[in-house]
Structures are given as C-alpha cells and as structure tokens.
Structure 1
Amino acid sequence: MFFPLQILQYLWTLCCKGQPPPRPEYDLVCIGLTGSGKTSLLSRLCSEATDNIGPTTGFSIKAVPFQNAILNVKELGGADSIKKYWSRYYQGSQGVVFVLDSASTDEDLEMARTELHSALQHPQLCTLPFLILANHQDKPAARTTQEIKKYFELEPLARGKSWILEGSSVDNIDAVKRSFTQLIELLEDKDQDTGRI
C-alpha cells in the first residue's frame, strides 16, 4: 500500500519527534517607580495595545512568552502607597526586573537609586539575577547606561551578583526582547548551578 509523501512526513513527525519539550517557566518580580514604563514594556512584549495604559495599582501578572522560556512577571505598582508593600510580593521570585526612567528628574532618579539599592540588598532578592532597564532612552534628556551605572554605583553594589543593565524604550521592543533573553540565560545558569549542589 502506498502513501502520499505528505502523509508519510506527517506520520514521521508524530511518531519520531513527538511534541516539543515544554518550555521552562520562571517567576519574576518587576519593580520601579510610577512612570518608569513597566506596564508599557510588558504590554509590548505581550503584543498588547499601549494606548490607554495608566499606573498599576497594586500588582498585575503577565505571562510573557519567549522561544526558550515563559516568564511569569509580577509587576508591582510604583506609587509611594504601594512601594512599602513590595517586599510582601518578593517570595517565590526567581529573578528581578527593575525599570527606571532614565530621563527623569534628579530627585526621581535618586529615589529610583534608593529603591534599587534596597531591592538588591533584600534577603529574598539578593541572590537572584537582576535585569535593570534604563527606560525612555528615546527621550532627549535620557541618561546613558554608563551614566546610570556610575550614578547608581552598580559595580560595587552588585559585586558577586548576576545582573544586566540595558537601555530600553517601547519604540525599540526588539532591544527589550534581547535584554530579557539575556536574563533568561542567567536564570538557566542559576538553574544549572542549583542542580549541581
């Protein structure tokens, strides 16, 4: 009995390759001051509209799909009334995304610096991989990642930690995807290190 080539190829796919292995999932916490652009970046990563985005009150969770992993991102609102409760949501996180407005006032940048330092030193976050996004790079007043690195004193602060600092903007979502892909690599490395113990 003869089968058309397409049927043979389909049967080969079914019996020999099977379903692709499930993608690993990682739970992340995303923090930053109100107006830093957390919600807009995450919405763009999920291919959602960003027209009518307002500040996050409380928290929201988004499953952000990538080719080699799914990131379950818990975004925490950045208002003063919410920041004091951030640490209640840290438990169970496997990585951290910190978004800052690189074009903000000096006062807001100093506040962002304080919050980042606090997060990097928190017992539940201090050993986790960090992705720091210097957002709004498309604005004229934006500080470069080198300026941010120096001002935030990241080299001494994050010594011994796995961290990435990248510029970002909602208009260049491909660059944001590359930054998250780097974070996934750090998460995979941490998984492998844990498996060796």
Structure 2
Amino acid sequence: MSEHMQLSLALCRIGIYTCFRALCCKGPPPPRTEYDLVCIGLSGAGKSSLLERLCNESSDGISPTTGFCIKAVPFPNAILNVKELGGAECIKKYWSRYYQGSQGVVFVLNSASSDEDLESARNELHSALQHPQLCTLPFLILAHHQDRPEARPPSQVHARPPSQIKKYFELEPLARGKRWILEGSTTDNMPAMKESFIQLIGLLEEKDKEPQARI
C-alpha cells in the first residue's frame, strides 16, 4: 500500500472517530436557570390564554382560574415557573398568600376594559408594586388585548395603547427606582409576546448578579 493511501486511510479513521465522539460522547446540555413568577390581574384580563399560548397549548374553552394554576414556560436560556392567580373578587383578597418565593411579577390588564375595570386594575397594580414581598422584584406589565379595534360601537371601548396606560396608571412616579417593563400584547402576536418575557428574563438575570446583603 502506498504512503499516500496509508495517509488517506489514517485521516479517514480520525474523521470517523471525531464524528463518533461528537455524536455519542457529547454530554447533556447545561441546565436552564429556573425562575418562579407570580401572574396577577383582574378576571378576564387574558392571563390563562396568554400562558396557554406561551406553552404551545390550545386556548380553546378556557374558563376563569379559580385559586391558582402553575405553568412551566420554556425559553432558550431559562424556564419560567409561572403561578397564575385567579382574578375574581373572592380570590383577590388572598393573593398575598401566594407571593412568597416569587422572583418576578407578571401583571396582565385588559387594555380594552371599561373605565371602572381599568381603575380596579390600576389599584391592584399599585398595591402589588408597593407590597413588601413584591416591591423589589422585576415587573412585566402587559397591556393585553391590543388587537381590539379602535372603531367600536358607543357601548364598547377601544384598547388603550401602552403610552396611555403608563400615564393613567402613573407608572413613572410610582415605579421609580424599580425594574419594570410595560408592553402592549395580544395572543395573535406571539413573537412580540415572547420578546416581552425575554426582556423580563434579562431583568431577572440582572437581579441575580446583584451582591447579596450580608446578615
């Protein structure tokens, strides 16, 4: 066998061995960081359908959440364990019992709701932003149902854009010094929805890097 052929066979063996190691000896991917979030908002804001879509599950026939529901929402660099709390009047008063252990907050509001419901959502958000167990956590505030058309019959209201929500909810003075994101959202635009959560993950990672106070 010629020297040239021997060299070619040796190179082939090296290539096959390299491919074999790449396919068979590759270790498991590094685990993704997990964050525990609490998701709150009035009944009908769209919390359940939003989480179902993020998990690639069907949102047909969804009924209002009674008590709470937990969803593991996967992203490329993190898994968000989202605890959704029901928004009915009889449940809201117990929200604070489920805040412990949360690392971030998702607040969903119906941007096309009545003035009365919008005022109720405003009060609940203010309460959450000032709650001792939540006030230092990153917030993602979603002005949901932005797909509602603005030309509506007089008995209905149109969706308020995030700029109006920010002003009406007085977010700038109230949330000064806090980490928060306000975005418009609709379940028909999932790339934008996911981008909002990716921004929240960025805030969670920043908080993880903060030096911990020594006791």
TM-score of the superposed pair, with normalisation by structure 2: 0.87
Matching residue of 1:151: 168
Once residues 25 and 78 of structure 1 are traced to their aligned partners in structure 2, the CA distance between those partners, rounded to angstroms, is 25
SS at match of 1:166: strand
Relative to structure 1, the CA distance from residue 6 to residue 87 in structure 2 (aligned partners, 3 Å threshold; closer, same or farther) is: farther
Cα shift at 1:74 = 0.1
Once residues 76 and 65 of structure 2 are traced to their aligned partners in structure 1, the CA distance between those partners, rounded to angstroms, is 27
Letter in 2 for 1:92: G
Residue from 5, 9, 12 that aligns with 2:19 = 9
Matching residue of 2:60: 51
Residue ranges of structure 1 left out of the alignment (5+ in a row): none
Letter in 2 for 1:85: Y
SS at match of 1:123: coil
Q: 5 Å matches for 1:41-120? A: 41-120=50-129
Matching residue of 1:39: 48
Pairwise CA RMSD of aligned residues?
1.7
- Is 1:175 the counterpart of 2:192? The answer is yes
Matching residue of 1:122: 131
Cα shift at 1:12 = 3.2
SS at match of 1:150: helix
Letter in 1 for 2:203: L
TM-score of the superposed pair, with normalisation by structure 1: 0.94
Cα shift at 1:194 = 3.7
Residue from 135, 140, 143 that aligns with 1:131 = 140
Identical aligned residues as a percent:
71
Once residues 30 and 15 of structure 2 are traced to their aligned partners in structure 1, the CA distance between those partners, rounded to angstroms, is 26
Q: Which has the larger radius of gyration?
A: 2
Once residues 63 and 19 of structure 2 are traced to their aligned partners in structure 1, the CA distance between those partners, rounded to angstroms, is 50
Letter in 1 for 2:71: K
Residue ranges of structure 2 left out of the alignment (5+ in a row): 1-9, 150-157
Cα shift at 1:190 = 0.2
Once residues 23 and 30 of structure 2 are traced to their aligned partners in structure 1, the CA distance between those partners, rounded to angstroms, is 14
Once residues 28 and 194 of structure 1 are traced to their aligned partners in structure 2, the CA distance between those partners, rounded to angstroms, is 21
